[in-house]
Amino acid sequence: MSAPFNERDPKVLGGSDAATRILSVTEIETPFVEDVYEKASLWYDWWFGPTLHAGRLESIGRLGIQPGDQVLEVGVGTGINASLYPDHCQVTGIDLSMRMLRKAAKRLGRRGVTNVRLQQMDAEDLSFPDDSFDVVYAPYTISVVSDPIKAVHEMRRVTKPGGRFVFLNHFLSTNRRIAWIERFISPVTVHVGFKADLDLPAFLVQAGLEPVSIEKVNIPRIFSLVICEKDD
């Protein structure tokens, strides 16, 4: 069951400097991200398929998708998650990597999935009009983009009033020793597709987000499913 978000919880806010501290020790640019995932398309399913799948299965049922909903998946990758959506919704899956999208198209074709369309697009510059989707979902994507704040603002923009924008991701540990390790290895992990040290409390504060819920998912439970609603 999801734990309610408490904006006064020090573990969530992460201290008085959350508004100014860096989100990650590692800075990356969009062309670098695209290149990494073009290469990762060759081995992504083999490694990140099984290791992250429990979180995919847990999270898809918590999105609250209703019949007829328009859903946007940001960072569709090779389409692993896209094949899990219920048939009663329409899904648009976007990704920066064309190689990833080609693999996604093949997967969806093999499985006979007809309610998902794929487009190449930058998560930080969505081409959709405001208020286009009932649910906008970014599984394992926010720690990949060059500017997480810009990406989540775009997610919110294209969400309909009353809709949900959701991200599933690994974030910097609240354990200081583990957090030090994650900061140390982050410059290396970006070469396989993610920042190991994205700071969730700083991200929430700097993006101006007040989530409805933050829930630990996956095995081990070191990933967070963050659900936000658009009020206006």
* 1 pLDDT higher than 50: no
Is 19 within 8 Å of 186 (Cβ atoms)? no
SS3 85: coil
Confidence bin at 52 (pLDDT 50/70/90): confident
**Is CATH 2.40.10.10 correct for 7-61+90-229?**
no
Q: What is the pLDDT of residue 13?
A: 43
End-to-end CA distance of the chain: 27
At residue 124, the pLDDT reads 96
20 confidence band (pLDDT: 50, 70, 90): confident
Residue 15 has pLDDT above 80, yes or no: no
Distance CA 178, CA 197 (A): 10
Indicate the SS3 state at residue 151: helix
pLDDT at 16: 62
- Three-state DSSP class for 32? helix
Q: What is the pLDDT of residue 6?
A: 41
User: For residue 8, what pLDDT is reported?
Assistant: 38
pTM, entire model = 0.88
Nearest Cα neighbor of 163 from 55, 68, 81, 54 is 68
At residue 5, the pLDDT reads 38
Higher pLDDT: 219 or 61? It is 61
Confidence band of 219 (pLDDT split at 50, 70, 90): confident
Region of poorest pLDDT, from 8-17, 67-76, 116-125: 8-17
**For residue 148, pLDDT beyond 70:** yes
The yes-or-no verdict on residue 153 having pLDDT over 90 is yes
In the chain, what are the domain boundaries?
A: 7-61+90-229
In the beta sheet, which residues pair with residue 92? 72, 117
Q: Give per-residue pLDDT as tens, 193-204.
A: 889 999 999 999
Residues 6+ apart with CB under 8 A from 92: 70, 71, 72, 73, 116, 117, 118, 119, 128, 133
At residue 14 the predicted structure's pLDDT band, cuts being 50, 70 and 90, is low
pLDDT recorded at residue 10: 40
Task: Spell out a b/e string for 112-121, using b for 16 or more CB atoms within 10 Å of the CB, else e.
Answer: ebeebebeeb
